[in-house]
Amino acid sequence: MAAPRPSRPFTRRGITFTSQYAYRQYLAAEKGYSTPAARNKAIAAQRRLVEAHATSLTAAQRGVLAAGIADYQGRIGSFVEGQAFAQRGSNRLPPEVLRLLREAGNGAYPLWRVIYR
């Protein structure tokens, strides 16, 4: 049996990770998820909602919007229940998510409601 190949270093944002999976773990932890699989599950749940309401967007744009909604759901607003003031993140959505919500047109209202739950 051959020995497993060592993973190559992977650099993003000026940080060198041991592998791409380590980078995905870092991203998931940064967004508040315990594992990359938990983040993917949340994105899949939001994708169904986005597919139903943002029909004017392309498939790639709907995927980006679903990821943005999953990452920022319940994390913005003037009051986030159960979270200390110092631990709250920015009160703003990323510019790309805002642009996609605007482009979604009339179907964006249910998506905004999900974000501010």
- Across the range 91-101, mean pLDDT stands at 84
In this prediction, residue 114 carries a pLDDT of 86
Is-above-0.85 flag for pTM? no
Binning pLDDT at 50, 70 and 90, where does residue 85 land?
Answer: low
Q: Dmax of the chain from CA atoms? A: 58
pLDDT: which is higher, 20 or 84 = 20
Give the whole-number percent of the chain exceeding pLDDT 90. 33
Smallest Cα–Cα separation from 72: which of 18, 112, 104, 23? Answer: 112
CB burial of residue 104 (10 Å; 0-12, 13-18, 19+) = buried
**pLDDT attached to residue 117:** 72
At 25-82, the pLDDT tens digits run 998 998 889 999 999 999 999 999 999 998 889 999 999 999 999 988 877 765 556 6
In 10 A of CB 9, how many CB atoms? Answer: 10
